[in-house]
Amino acid sequence: MKVLIIRLSALGDVVHSLPAAAAIKKGLIEAGHTNTTLSWLVEPPSKDLLLNNDLIDEVIIFPKKAFKTKITDPTKWGQTLSQFSEFSTGLKNRGFDAVIDFQGLLKSSILGYISGAKIRIGYSKVKEFSHIFLTDKMYIEDYFAEGSHIVERHLDLADFALKILKASPGSKPIREEANFALPRPEASVYDRFSKMLSTKQNKQPRVVLIPGTTWDTKIWAPEKWSKLAQELAIASDTRPGAEIVIVGGENETSVNASIFQYIRNAQTQAVDLTGKTSLVDLIALFEGSDLVIGGDTGPMHLACATKHPKVLGIYGATPSKRNGPYGAGNRALALNLSCQPCNEMKCPLKTTACLVDMSVEMVLEQARKMLSSG
């Protein structure tokens, strides 16, 4: 059976869909579909999480940004139409038996329809009337509501899909067993980090900070990140100071550089790897770390998927129960104000109190508890 998974973006969303994809492939093979192949349609930024991944048989890149850029130029409309037609034909010619849409948007639903698969499975109530292109819909009251974690919601859709495909679902994976299939870093990646981060001694914990994210309503203030790093790095009679590592994408270079400078000015040692790590690099880094602290962002969820470090999430606008750090021992820290979660990129009240009022002491206390709990 040829199955197409659609989860185009962003990184955290792709991470959250991995256990469901693994459950689908395992369920089909155990049901006798031993020739099952799993393809995944994804946009370029998250492709490295799926390439060289034993779970995925084929990665199909959807060049949305390239299409979007060209369509704004009338002189390139013909070229864009031709390229999209070629992409659509290639998708349809693969002969998929079923599509499972974890994205729940109009663009993903249309792409599922274009694939030509006779069975198209997804959620009943999401956005943009995307359900109209589905043949089989799993009822859900509100896709964006709190309640169960999004990983478990996707696992429910995997069970629903297996029933539609005449394969009995197995027992639902619990948190510790959910299969976040990840590509394995090469030995040279581990060696590079071993040389770059050679300061660990006397059982010194390694703490990775991920300050940056895409929404204003997810960003904790840079000066608070700096103060947190300084406090974590201080040793006492009962605990060693932490080795501090800062990571982020190229878009966070400027902000993270200012945080790093604040830390250095306070005579605190830290390593700034912002813009210097691929997704596979981050997997290796997280596997060698003790605690990861970040906002609701893709790399933070990737840290959870490695199942090695403990993960502490700092939450503002987004739902901490639905989108929190997945897995036993991980924690989401939120003030639980009456306006949370708003799921807005800009604060409707123009206060961002959910993060402004989140003190360094609150985060530090929880981080130290997690480090000391073994």
pLDDT at 315 > cutoff 60: yes
- 192 and 236, same structural domain? yes
Mean predicted confidence (pLDDT) in 108-114: 94
Q: Which of 300, 5, 39, 303 is closest to 157 using CA atoms?
A: 5
Residue 200 has pLDDT above 60, yes or no: no
Q: Are residues 282 and 354 in the same domain?
A: yes
Mean pLDDT across the stretch 97-106? 94
**What pLDDT does residue 201 have?**
58
3-state secondary structure of 57: coil
**Which residue carries 């974590």 as its tokens?**
232
Q: Are residues 350 and 216 in the same domain?
A: yes
pLDDT classification of 360: cutoffs 50, 70, 90: very high
Find tokens 């779970």 and name the residue: 55
14 HSE (CA, 13 A, CB side):
24
Does residue 175 form part of some domain? Answer: no
pTM of structure = 0.91
Confidence of residue 176 (pLDDT cuts 50, 70, 90): low
Q: What is the mean pLDDT of residues 227-241?
A: 89
Asked if residue 12 belongs to a domain, the reply is yes
Q: Quick one: what percent of the chain has pLDDT higher than 90?
A: 67
For residues 159 and 249, state if they share a domain: no
Average pLDDT of the chain, as a whole number: 89
Confidence grade of residue 67 (pLDDT, cut at 50, 70, 90)? low
Residues 152 and 227 in one domain: no
| Residues spanned by the domain of 42 | 2-164
CATH of the domain at 296: 3.40.50.2000
pLDDT band at 369 (very low <50, low <70, confident <90, very high): very high
Using DSSP's 3-state secondary structure scheme, residue 15 falls into helix
CA contacts within 13 A on the Cβ side of 11? 23
Q: How many domains does the chain have?
A: 2
The verdict on 106 and 246 lying in the same domain is no
- Position with higher pLDDT, 250 vs 93: 93
Residue 173 lies in a domain: no
Mean per-residue pLDDT, 211-231: 90
Residue 72 has pLDDT above 80, yes or no: no
- Residue 297, pLDDT score: 93
Residues 339 and 291 in one domain: yes
Same domain, yes or no: 55 and 151: yes
- Residues paired with 98 in a beta bridge: 3, 119
Taking CA atoms, 310 is separated from 175, 225, 367, in Å, by 14, 18, 9
Of the candidate ranges 79-88, 114-123, 146-155, 244-253, the one whose mean pLDDT is the lowest: 79-88
